[in-house]
């Protein structure tokens, strides 16, 4: 079911068979002005209300009707009963699809007054810019037809017209912006990097805004999760990563790095606490071919299949230097798998033909935990592998005992 707005009468039109609505409605992408300004599902006087949100909905419907000849429109503030938790959950799970199936996505850049030019640099954008909000990421990428309008509803251009400028602002490849490449062709780390630096009103939404980007439909939208060891936003993002691991065999989900961590710190988290830690992973691609299966059981990541493709032994004679920016470190050699504690490297991604890895430390037979060391960059032609039938990696510091 999708609830639309008649662009002439501004009354609701409920469509139970959603397929019948595909390609027949305009959809709005915007930054919320605050609850006191927006019009909700229960607002009765939409035609006469002087609220900024009401004026925005009326202008949006006018543009949809007059410019695009569309009878129906959809607005998230208006068309979802946010007091109904079940409806809200269904809407969140459907949001990416609704944007993808719209005839046109109209972006209202309320902070941009110039209709003759497009924003050029991220640093020049205001704090509440549409380009800095997390929910607008899927609203940019899902629809094929995205048109930008300025504060006064004057047409600026399409996302195809300004693909280069949008890519500069967002660090998203032009092929993803223009839908020339499917999102699934990009690694998990790359897609995570696209939301780094974006903001949400509620911390947990930094996870929920990515459901469509990763085609996750069974993660409940809950707030106030976590415990004393993990804030709610971190817990929501952790649950999202676990769903992604269940869906994709892509080790790049572990290709994050927290520059605030010191190598001596006793932290062993395999999962990132925030998409911010993927900020430098825009060029990290999935290792291919990589034949293995990943599954989470009892707070451990179990890897089976041909896991020897992904584990390498770091040199014991010379310290392996950390990966830093564009600096190359290609001097890692293999050493025999001898007795005693083993420090290895799990290959998680590739960059410019070289391999990216994270440090692992063996804590019991074929059971590892991640070290706080920076990522490594290794020469793929000089890397030897350790053959194992399978292994486990502890997910976080809370469960380091084995």
What are the boundaries of each domain within the chain?
Answer: 2-181, 232-399
Asked if residue 329 has pLDDT above 50, the reply is: no
Asked if residue 179 has pLDDT above 90, the reply is: yes
How many distinct helices (H) and strands (E) make up the chain? 9, 15
Asked if residue 3 has pLDDT above 80, the reply is: yes
When mean pLDDT is compared across 16-25, 118-127, 128-137, 262-271, the lowest value belongs to 118-127
Strand, helix or coil for residue 391: strand
Instruction: Decide the pairing of beta strands 12-15 and 2-6.
Output: antiparallel
pLDDT tens digits, 343-362: 778 888 888 878 888 888 88
Phi, psi angle pair for 299, to nearest 5°: 65, 25
Interval 9-36 mean pLDDT:
93
Provide DSSP, 194-250: HHTT-B-SSTTHHHHTTTTTTT-------SS--BTTB-HHHHHHHHHHHHHHHH---
Strand, helix or coil for residue 360: strand
Q: What is the pLDDT of residue 333?
A: 34
User: Average pLDDT over the chain, rounded to whole?
Assistant: 84
Interval 313-325 mean pLDDT:
43
The DSSP secondary-structure symbol of 400 reads -
Q: What is the pLDDT of residue 312?
A: 60
CA angle 37, 40, 43 (to 5 degrees): 95
Query: The tokens 């996870």 sit on which residue?
Result: 207
CB count within 10 Å of CB 36 equals 8
Which residues fall within 8 angstroms of residue 126, CB to CB, at 6 or more apart?
111
Q: What is the pLDDT of residue 313?
A: 56
Give the integer Cα–Cα distance in Å for 265 and 373: 9
């Amino acid at each position: 079911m999708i609830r639309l707005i008649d662009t002439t009468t501004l009354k609701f039109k409920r469509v139970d068979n959603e397929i019948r609505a595909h390609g027949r409605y305009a959809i709005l992408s915007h930054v919320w002005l605050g609850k006191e300004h927006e019009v909700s599902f229960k607002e009765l006087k939409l035609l006469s209300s002087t609220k900024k949100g009401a004026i925005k909905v009326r202008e949006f419907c006018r543009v949809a009707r007059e410019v695009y000849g569309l009878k129906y429109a959809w607005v998230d503030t208006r068309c979802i009963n946010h007091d109904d938790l079940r409806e809200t959950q269904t809407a969140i799970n459907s949001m990416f699809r609704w944007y993808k199936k719209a005839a046109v996505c109209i972006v209202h850049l309320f902070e941009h007054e110039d209709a003759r030019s497009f924003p050029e640099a991220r640093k020049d954008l205001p704090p509440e810019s549409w380009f800095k909000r997390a929910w607008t990421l899927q609203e940019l990428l899902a629809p094929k037809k995205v048109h930008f309008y300025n504060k006064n509803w004057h047409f600026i251009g399409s996302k195809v017209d300004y693909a280069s400028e949008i890519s500069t602002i967002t660090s998203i490849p032009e092929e993803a912006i223009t839908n020339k490449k499917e999102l699934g062709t990009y690694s998990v780390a790359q897609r995570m990097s696209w939301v780094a630096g974006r903001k949400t009103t509620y911390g947990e939404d930094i996870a929920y805004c990515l459901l469509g980007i990763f085609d996750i439909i069974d993660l409940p939208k809950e707030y106030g999760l976590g415990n004393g060891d993990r804030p709610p936003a971190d817990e929501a993002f952790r649950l999202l990563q676990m769903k992604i691991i269940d869906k994709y065999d892509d080790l790049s989900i572990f290709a994050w790095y927290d520059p605030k961590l010191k190598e001596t710190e006793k932290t062993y988290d395999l999962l990132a606490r925030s998409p911010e830690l993927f900020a430098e992973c825009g060029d990290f691609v999935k290792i291919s071919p990589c034949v293995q299966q990943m599954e989470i059981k009892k707070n451990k990541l179990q890897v089976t299949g041909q896991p020897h493709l992904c584990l390498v032994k770091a040199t014991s004679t010379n310290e392996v230097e950390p990966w830093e920016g564009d600096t190359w470190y290609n001097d890692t050699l293999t050493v025999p798998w001898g007795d005693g504690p083993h420090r290895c490297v799990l290959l998680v991604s590739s960059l410019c033909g070289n391999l990216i890895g994270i440090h692992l430390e063996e804590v019991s037979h074929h059971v590892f935990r991640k070290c706080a060391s920076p990522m490594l960059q290794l020469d793929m032609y000089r890397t030897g592998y350790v053959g194992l039938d399978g292994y486990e990696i502890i997910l976080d510091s809370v469960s380091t005992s084995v």
